[in-house]
Amino acid sequence: MATAYEKLMNGLDEVEGYLSGKTKGHKITVPGEVDIKAVRKRLGLTQIQFSETFSLSLDNVKNWESHRRQPEAPARAFLTVIEHDPAAVIYALHPEAAKAANYKSRRDSYARAKKALAATAGV
């Protein structure tokens, strides 16, 4: 098993290889659009609840839903994670909810997310 030092040095070797052009990095494609309103409604949240739960600006949520503005790539990536596994995001942002909802796996994320939201409200 590699020591922490060896892991760090391997990581630095990978960075050096990437910067020198010897190895290629990973390219991630972020969706061009995320239907925020559909995700929010699927969770049964108001705009205020959605913005507070996921630490988003209420103004941004309103503007994104009304198509006045489009989320930047990092926000679209975050919204995509929320869309695919909202419970994981809730549990990451609200650890007390994970404990109260007895989080163990990623199955039925929307049902777990609703349970976590209820647990967060009660904590």
| DSSP character string of the chain | ---HHHHHHHHHHHHHHHHHTSS-----PPPS---HHHHHHHHT--HHHHHHHTT--HHHHHHHHTTSS---HHHHHHHHHHHH-HHHHHHHH-HHHHHHTT----TTHHHHHHHHHHHHHH-
Q: What is the pLDDT of residue 120?
A: 66
CATH classification of the domain holding 91? 1.10.260.40
- Given a cut of 90, whether residue 64 has pLDDT beyond it is yes
The answer to whether residue 57 is domain-embedded is: yes
Average pLDDT value for residue range 74-87: 91
The answer to whether residue 53 is domain-embedded is: yes
Q: Give 70 or 105, the one with higher predicted confidence.
A: 70
Q: What is the pLDDT of residue 104?
A: 57
The answer to whether residue 83 is domain-embedded is: yes
Residue-wise pLDDT tens digits, 103-115: 655 555 667 677 7
Range of 44's domain? 26-122
Asked if 117 contacts 100 with a C-beta cutoff of 8 angstroms, the reply is: no
The answer to whether residue 46 is domain-embedded is: yes
The answer to whether residue 14 is domain-embedded is: no
Q: Fill in the amino acid letter for 16.
A: E
Q: What are phi and psi of 85, to 5 degrees?
A: -150, 70
Residue-wise pLDDT tens digits, 4-56: 778 788 877 887 887 787 877 666 678 889 999 999 999 999 999 999 999 99
Q: What is the pLDDT of residue 123?
A: 47
Asked if 64 contacts 71 with a C-beta cutoff of 8 angstroms, the reply is: yes
**Calpha distance 120→123 (Å, rounded):** 5
